[in-house]
Protein backbone atom coordinates (compact mmCIF):
# COMPACT_ATOMS: atom_id res chain seq x y z
CA UNK A 1 0.00 0.00 0.00
CA UNK A 2 1.28 3.47 -0.83
CA UNK A 3 2.11 5.47 2.31
CA UNK A 4 1.16 8.75 0.60
CA UNK A 5 -2.37 7.45 0.06
CA UNK A 6 -2.94 7.57 3.84
CA UNK A 7 -1.87 11.21 4.11
CA UNK A 8 -4.07 14.17 3.44
CA UNK A 9 -3.09 16.63 0.71
CA UNK A 10 -1.55 19.02 3.26
CA UNK A 11 0.75 16.39 4.77
CA UNK A 12 2.70 15.37 1.71
CA UNK A 13 6.24 16.51 1.00
CA UNK A 14 6.62 16.48 -2.79
CA UNK A 15 9.87 17.23 -4.59
CA UNK A 16 8.59 20.70 -5.48
CA UNK A 17 8.60 21.57 -1.75
CA UNK A 18 12.25 20.58 -1.29
CA UNK A 19 15.37 22.58 -1.98
CA UNK A 20 17.50 20.10 -3.88
CA UNK A 21 20.05 21.96 -6.00
CA UNK A 22 23.28 23.34 -4.62
CA UNK A 23 22.61 26.67 -6.33
CA UNK A 24 19.29 27.05 -4.48
CA UNK A 25 20.93 26.18 -1.14
CA UNK A 26 23.71 28.71 -1.74
CA UNK A 27 21.28 31.44 -2.87
CA UNK A 28 19.16 30.99 0.25
CA UNK A 29 22.23 30.92 2.49
CA UNK A 30 23.70 34.01 0.83
CA UNK A 31 20.54 36.13 0.48
CA UNK A 32 18.42 34.81 3.34
CA UNK A 33 17.94 36.31 6.76
CA UNK A 34 19.16 34.27 9.70
CA UNK A 35 17.26 33.02 12.73
CA UNK A 36 19.20 31.25 15.49
CA UNK A 37 17.88 28.50 17.73
CA UNK A 38 19.79 26.29 20.12
CA UNK A 39 20.27 23.44 17.64
CA UNK A 40 19.73 25.12 14.25
CA UNK A 41 20.62 28.13 12.18
CA UNK A 42 17.63 28.82 9.94
CA UNK A 43 18.04 30.91 6.81
CA UNK A 44 14.84 32.40 5.38
CA UNK A 45 14.53 33.80 1.86
CA UNK A 46 11.08 34.86 0.70
CA UNK A 47 10.60 34.24 -2.97
CA UNK A 48 8.38 31.73 -4.68
CA UNK A 49 6.83 28.86 -2.79
CA UNK A 50 7.37 27.41 0.66
CA UNK A 51 10.35 25.04 0.38
CA UNK A 52 12.70 23.36 2.84
CA UNK A 53 16.35 22.40 2.62
CA UNK A 54 18.35 20.76 5.39
CA UNK A 55 22.12 20.83 5.82
CA UNK A 56 23.84 18.58 8.33
CA UNK A 57 27.63 18.40 8.29
CA UNK A 58 29.80 15.49 9.39
CA UNK A 59 31.01 17.67 12.23
CA UNK A 60 27.47 17.63 13.66
CA UNK A 61 26.93 13.85 13.77
CA UNK A 62 27.73 10.54 12.14
CA UNK A 63 25.78 9.20 9.17
CA UNK A 64 22.97 7.74 11.27
CA UNK A 65 22.61 10.97 13.28
CA UNK A 66 22.65 13.15 10.15
CA UNK A 67 19.92 11.10 8.51
CA UNK A 68 17.86 11.14 11.72
CA UNK A 69 18.07 14.95 11.92
CA UNK A 70 16.95 15.27 8.30
CA UNK A 71 14.06 12.84 8.77
CA UNK A 72 12.78 14.60 11.89
CA UNK A 73 13.14 18.08 10.40
CA UNK A 74 11.24 17.04 7.26
CA UNK A 75 8.51 15.48 9.38
CA UNK A 76 8.10 18.62 11.51
CA UNK A 77 7.95 20.75 8.35
CA UNK A 78 5.49 18.39 6.68
CA UNK A 79 3.10 18.22 9.61
CA UNK A 80 3.39 21.85 10.80
CA UNK A 81 3.62 24.04 7.71
CA UNK A 82 1.85 26.87 9.52
CA UNK A 83 4.94 27.31 11.73
CA UNK A 84 6.91 28.46 8.71
CA UNK A 85 6.31 31.62 6.64
CA UNK A 86 4.37 30.97 3.43
CA UNK A 87 6.15 31.75 0.19
CA UNK A 88 9.60 31.44 1.77
CA UNK A 89 12.47 29.08 1.24
CA UNK A 90 14.08 27.82 4.44
CA UNK A 91 17.43 26.15 4.94
CA UNK A 92 18.00 24.50 8.31
CA UNK A 93 21.66 24.16 9.24
CA UNK A 94 21.99 21.68 12.10
CA UNK A 95 24.31 22.42 14.99
CA UNK A 96 25.93 20.12 17.53
CA UNK A 97 23.42 18.24 19.67
CA UNK A 98 20.66 18.26 17.05
CA UNK A 99 21.00 14.48 16.65
CA UNK A 100 19.84 14.05 20.27
CA UNK A 101 16.47 15.75 19.68
CA UNK A 102 13.21 13.88 19.50
CA UNK A 103 10.19 14.95 17.43
CA UNK A 104 8.44 16.87 20.24
CA UNK A 105 11.58 18.77 21.26
CA UNK A 106 12.39 19.73 17.68
CA UNK A 107 8.81 20.86 17.11
CA UNK A 108 8.91 22.94 20.31
CA UNK A 109 12.21 24.55 19.26
CA UNK A 110 10.86 25.50 15.84
CA UNK A 111 7.60 26.71 17.38
CA UNK A 112 9.61 28.99 19.67
CA UNK A 113 11.43 30.34 16.60
CA UNK A 114 8.15 31.19 14.85
CA UNK A 115 8.23 34.90 15.74
CA UNK A 116 11.83 35.20 14.55
CA UNK A 117 10.97 33.45 11.31
CA UNK A 118 8.06 35.83 10.74
CA UNK A 119 10.36 38.82 11.36
CA UNK A 120 12.97 37.42 9.00
CA UNK A 121 10.29 36.93 6.36
CA UNK A 122 9.11 40.51 6.81
CA UNK A 123 5.68 39.54 8.12
CA UNK A 124 3.68 41.63 10.55
CA UNK A 125 2.05 40.11 13.61
CA UNK A 126 -1.15 39.82 11.54
CA UNK A 127 0.64 37.51 9.09
CA UNK A 128 0.76 39.97 6.20
CA UNK A 129 3.90 41.22 4.49
CA UNK A 130 5.21 44.52 5.78
CA UNK A 131 5.97 47.14 3.20
CA UNK A 132 9.63 48.03 3.02
CA UNK A 133 10.35 51.76 2.85
CA UNK A 134 11.72 52.84 -0.52
Domain ranges for the chain? 17-121
Residue 132 CB-half CA count within 13 A = 5
Q: Looking at residue 134, what is its pLDDT? A: 41
Higher pLDDT, 10 or 24: 24
Tell me yes or no: is domain 17-121 CATH 3.40.50.300.
no
Q: Give Cβ neighbours of residue 104 (< 8 Å, ≥ 6 apart).
A: none
Pick the range with the lowest mean pLDDT from 1-15, 25-39, 68-82.
1-15
DSSP H stretches of helix in the chain: 22-31, 63-79, 103-112, 114-121
Amino acid sequence: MNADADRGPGERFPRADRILSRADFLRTQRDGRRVHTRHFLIMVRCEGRQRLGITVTRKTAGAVGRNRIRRLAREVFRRNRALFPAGCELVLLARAGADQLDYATLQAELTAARAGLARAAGLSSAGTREKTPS
